[in-house]
Chains A and B, each alone.
Chain A
Amino acid sequence: MSADPHTDTHGAAVDTHGHDSHGHDAHGNGCAPAGPKRPTTEELIARKAATRQEIEPGADLMTISIGPQHPSTHGVYRIVLDLDGEIIVDGRPEVGNLHRGIEKLCENRTYHQIVPLTDRLDYIASFAMNHGFCEAAEKLMGLEVPDRGRYIRTIAHELARLSNHILWLGIHVMDLGTQTFFCICFRDREYILDLWEMLCGARLTHSFARIGGVAKDLPDGFEYRCRKVMEFLPKRVAEYERIVKNNRIYYKRAKGVGVFTAEDCYAWRVTGPPLRSAGIARDLRKDEPYAAYGEVDFDVAVEYNADVYDRFLVRMKEIRESCKIILQCLDQMPDGDFISKDAGHVLPRKSEVMRQSGAMIQDFNQVFRGPQAPKGEVYRAIEVPKGEMGVYIRSEGGGKPARVRFTTPSFYHGQALPALAKGEMIADMVAIFASIDVVLGDCDR
């Protein structure tokens, strides 16, 4: 028995694809003996070649269309696959069925009005989208967010990440054949949604970020409830791992399937957990800290085998890290404003509007004219649960942007699917597709 925790419980299962992980320590740092063995890039490429079947040139291909209405595509995504028997030879993704023209809608709305629209991008983690847009708009206007606002944003962003990953886990494992587990995940996600309802009043489309801060302060009792949830959630993750990680069926369906090396990820602009499962510790929360991420202590979850199983492990680690971040933020929560006092760019607080004429004028000004942004263009990228999300804003001055563009992770992940699935069995398509976590609202915008 090796010391490797993967091979430890699944001695037999590792051999299913004819490549056990006898990699040597490629990176040569101290944690190698205790952690899982790290395969080198060459080994990963060799593994990829080993799992993927040979495609004979000139074979008789069958074309099938999966989607747009297919339960495993989690939305209206269509992929046309060329099959040689059961082997996927090529595929052509087709997106745009959920196109709502959000980028165009942004052009005749003020910055305040765009925030609720960004909810509808990735509706599983809508605060992350609000946050990305507000960060970009603040960069354009040169606004500073007060400390308390930054900490509340960090908590909210991590709550969004938690609910995203837990939902992902339930659906991913359900695609591979379990039913009960889906309900267990939904039950735990419900605790997070309750926190959201307490925090901002909505369970799915939060619209909680505002230009210059957040919409509301933490309510009474939130801290206590949040601490309770964050303390038991890691125990629940251990439970998930008892059910899924050590399950032979899941292991065989996920291990070694859909290998996508770091080079492939770079070539297809795949970011987030799929990139981190290929051994690249790229996380904008760490690399270019925004909100309060520079002031809390957390680790970037990294795995090295670049397959479906490791993407699952990365996300489980991220759930644990998120709980850690939220608890730290609650501990360090500073007093003060939750939204900036800049009268030129920020919606005033309700209690002030009802009492002070200055705030009332600010209210009218912000609603009718919008926050007055200078002329110019900005790009701001943040790490959302699914990967890297960028917002580009071009402003001609005034309260409305001239052009807004969102570069959302799901779009790039969706287009990489044929490259990921090429040479795999068609039955593995479902596992691979779920493992890259695509939400079609995010993809089609």
Chain B
Amino acid sequence: MGLKDVVKKAAFVDILRGMSVTGTYFVVDKVTVEYPKEKLQTYPRFRGIHALITDPDTQDAKCVACMLCPTICPSQCIHVVGEETPDGRSHAKEFDLDLARCIFCGLCEEVCPVAAIVMTRFYEGSTYDKRDFLLDKKALMANQVYAHKEVFVEKPEATGAAKEEGR
């Protein structure tokens, strides 16, 4: 052990070098978000709790009970019963979604051919009663206030033939 090392050890040079970084953070801006008081803005693709979108013409959910989302769901947590309305429309009589089984993979949103089921920006779903995890059609339709804005406007610019190619 050379003299240099003795000096280094006695003066805690290594520790001080590391602590200088820690010390810097005393004075720079904080990055922490104080969660319940402040909340982070989610990005437009955020996969939060689901919602069913209302069709403005019929005031019913857009869902046509095509059974795609209950089929693709990897954890089989969607339950749909379809029926025909008197005016000849196919709609979902029952639409239940068990959040306790859902793995938030987003496949249901991806396959829905009418963009009826969407994932919202709502993520604070904790509850004291586990029955609250079973969302029925009414609860899912109530959730649409949290839906991301872009689901209502289905990308008008994507219609052009040139855009069809790419994204």
- Chain A positions within 8 Å of B, measured between CB atoms, are 9, 11-12, 15, 109, 112-117, 119-120, 180, 184, 187, 190, 194, 197-202, 205, 207, 215-217, 219, 239, 242-244, 246-249, 335-338, 347, 350-355, 360, 363-364, 366-368
Contacts and interface: CB of A to CB of B under 8 A. Distances in A.
Given A180-B22, A243-B21, A201 B45 contact: yes
B5 A248 contact: no
Given A11-B5, A12-B1, A116-B107, A246 B43 contact: no
A299 B68 CA distance: 45
Most buried by A among B9, B44, B47, B66: B47
Given A11-B1, A197-B43, A201-B45, A113 B107 contact: yes
A337 B115 contact: no
Given A112-B72, A113-B72, A202-B104, A353 B113 contact: yes
B159 interface: yes
Given A201-B45, A201-B119, A364-B68, A347 B18 contact: no
Q: Which 4 A-B pairs have the closest CB atoms?
A: A116-B105, A201-B45, A201-B47, A217-B167
Contacts of A117: 74
A10 to B, nearest CB: 8
B89 interface: no
B34 interface: no
A200 B155 CA distance: 17
A11 B119 contact: no
A215 B43 contact: no
A207 B106 contact: yes
Given A201-B106, A354-B114, A367-B68, A109 B45 contact: no
Given A113-B72, A201-B46, A202-B104, A215 B110 contact: yes
Most buried by A among B21, B110, B113: B110
Interface of B: 1-2, 4-5, 8-9, 14-15, 17-18, 20-22, 25, 31, 42-47, 66, 68, 71-74, 103-107, 110-111, 113-115, 119, 154-155, 158-159, 164-167
Contact of A368 (B8, B31, B71): B71
A219 B43 CA distance: 10
Given A109-B74, A337-B165, A360 B45 contact: no
B103 A116 contact: yes
A180 B2 CA distance: 32
Contacts of B115: 350, 354
Interface SS of A by simple majority: helix
Given A15-B1, A117-B74, A200-B45, 11 more contacts: A113-B73, A116-B105, A202-B47, A242-B18, A242-B21, A243-B22, A247-B18, A249-B15, A336-B165, A366-B111, A367-B111
A355 B165 contact: no
Given A116-B105, A354-B115, A367 B71 contact: yes
A116 B21 contact: no
B46 A337 contact: no
A247 B8 CA distance: 12
A248 B1 CA distance: 14
B166 A335 contact: yes
Nearest to A113: B74
Given A197-B45, A217-B167, A367-B72, A354 B154 contact: yes
A398 to B, nearest CB: 15
Contacts of A242: 17-18, 20-21
A45 B92 CA distance: 69
A353 B66 CA distance: 13
Contacts of B159: 355
19 contacts: A9-B14, A11-B2, A11-B4, A12-B9, A113-B73, A116-B105, A119-B105, A197-B45, A202-B47, A217-B167, A242-B17, A242-B18, A335-B166, A338-B167, A347-B111, A350-B110, A354-B115, A363-B68, A364-B66
Most buried by A among B9, B20, B21: B21
A412 to B, nearest CB: 27
Given A187-B31, A242-B18, A351-B158, A198 B166 contact: no
Nearest to B148: A201
Contacts of A338: 167
A194 B40 CA distance: 11
A315 B92 CA distance: 52
A197 B46 contact: yes
Given A242-B21, A246-B14, A337-B165, A12 B44 contact: no
Contacts of A351: 154-155, 158, 164
